[in-house]
Amino acid sequence: MNTSEEILEQKIAAILSEADRMTLATSVDGNSSASSVFFARDGEDLIFFTFNPTRKAEQIRVNPRVQAVIWPRGMEGIRGLQIEGLCFKIKDAQEIKKAHDLILQTTTAFKEFMDDPFLIKNKVVGYYRIKPTLIKYVDFYADEKFQFKEFPQNEWSAFKEALHAAGKRALLWIRAVRAPFFTASIVPILLGAVIAFGDLKHAGAAALWNWKFFWLTLIGGILAQAGTNLSNDYFDHTSRNDEYNKWFSPFNGGSRMIQAGLIRPYKILLAAVLAFATTLVIGFYLNARITGSVLGNSPLLWIGILGVLLGMLYTWNPVRLGYHGLGELSIALGFGPIMVLGTHFVLTQPIVHNDLANWHYMRPLLASVPVAILIMLVVWINQFQDAPADARVGKNTWVVRLAKIQNNQILYEGPFAYYVAFNVFSFAFIIFLAVLGVIRPELSTPYVLIALLPAALLYKAVQWGREWLKAWSAPDSDRSRLPYELLKVNVSTIGLHFFTGILLIFAFWLGS
């Protein structure tokens, strides 16, 4: 005679056999999502296929707790299952093959995408497993309308769940501020610091180097970049720019925290305000130490205020510099001369004493030019993938302005020609700095010639870019996939800025 538990298992199995799709609910930070997906059974687990960049997949990576509702056709809301469980992306190759075959037994609707080599190579498609922790059997016609089956073996301990949640939350904010790209502020600050140390050493005051001022300056610069990134995310959300952007990647289209439902928009804005506010507090503290007053007149006060304003107004209403063709200039100034000069001024105070006549600013100003151009070009090339969404919301970047429209397609020859020209100019300027270092050693150093080494990477980036342009312009090209083929140029451009910047830092260190 069957026990009540065995009877319940049979009822659950019957529902799962009758249905082929479920409504899946996910949630992170109060952002709830629901979607209908086909599923297959693997023992007690449920398997489904989806695209990894989707909102549900993004949320599952952060919070694996999901709920699924399954109703057989014709029995919606009357007889079915409510399943709570933990969901994970399948990573083992053999398990992926097994999941692939199981899904195809349920439906062939997505076979074209499941077997697409391009999507597989770029990790766009994925398979997920739900391990149930509780199944609620619902039957409103039965005397016992609700029956429950628990799976304690699939549950996490409270400690494991808390540790997972804390780790994922930290990683979310690292992604939100785009921490891997903090090299944009670290490079100019280190450049200014090395030149400042050389000036102190030349004046016989190397012992007066102030590590506290250095670390405060570095933290302030990084926070300014974090504030810029966060505010850019928020205001590109309010303009719907990032929502319209279908060609986003780790290098463009924002952090996607808002679009993926991972962090509430107001938290992104508050974090941006906090980052800028902390930058200002650090700047005012340093200014007070230099001048004796928080608002004491000094180059640091005006450089700092200008830098924060450029970061805030890049996308903030109502100015929105990035929407009016001034974003590229803002990036170049903010992560070039402003950071290099501000750092140099703060760290040379033992010999400058807030007296402009004593401040040798031309050396750091000239050194900042290649860094400024190269960081601008990082944003410039990233705007290629952003261009359709930018044009749609009226974000008139220079890529949008220079591109031509032909047969409803964007042509990028114009923006790419400027990309090459600016790169060539930055390396030509390095040669100029080397010559200047021979003629006027107080303004530069001939050692900067070592910063020409990344020109080999530039050659490859230009070659890849031209191949991409040719493919993009071909009448039979698949333009829905080609934006991803430009990613190696995006990565190369970041590499050009970083390696050239590091070599410039090393060159001025040798020159000191």
Question: Structure tokens of 475?
Answer: 């009448």
Strand-pairing partners, residue 28, are 31
**In contact, 401 and 328? CB cutoff 8 Å:** no
**Token match 């070599």: residue?**
503
Query: β-pairing, 79-89 with 125-139?
Result: antiparallel
Q: What's the gap between Cα 191 and its chain centre?
A: 24
Label residue 27 left, alpha or beta by phi (over 0 means left) and psi (-120 to 50 means alpha): beta
Report residues of the chain scoring pLDDT below 70. 1-2
Helices (H), 394-412: 398-402
Domains of the chain and any CATH numbers? 4-152 (2.30.110.10), 177-511 (no CATH)
* pLDDT value, residue 1: 43
DSSP 320-367: -GGGGT-HHHHHHHIIIIIHHHHHHHHHTHHHHTT-GGG---HHHHHH
**For the chain, counts of helices (H) and of strands (E):** 20, 10
DSSP state of 157: P
Q: What's the predicted TM-score (pTM) here?
A: 0.92
Residue-wise pLDDT for 164-211, tens only, equals 999 999 999 999 999 999 999 999 999 999 999 999 999 999 999 999
Cα distances (Å, whole numbers) of residue 290 to 143, 208, 305: 81, 14, 16
Question: Structure tokens of 3?
Answer: 């026990």
Give, for 404, the enclosing helix (H) or strand (E): strand 404-406
Q: How far apart are CA 228 and CA 279, in angstroms?
A: 11
* pLDDT value, residue 2: 67
Average pLDDT of every residue of the chain: 94
* pLDDT value, residue 424: 97
The candidate with the shortest Cα–Cα distance to 473, out of 424, 400, 423, 411, is 411
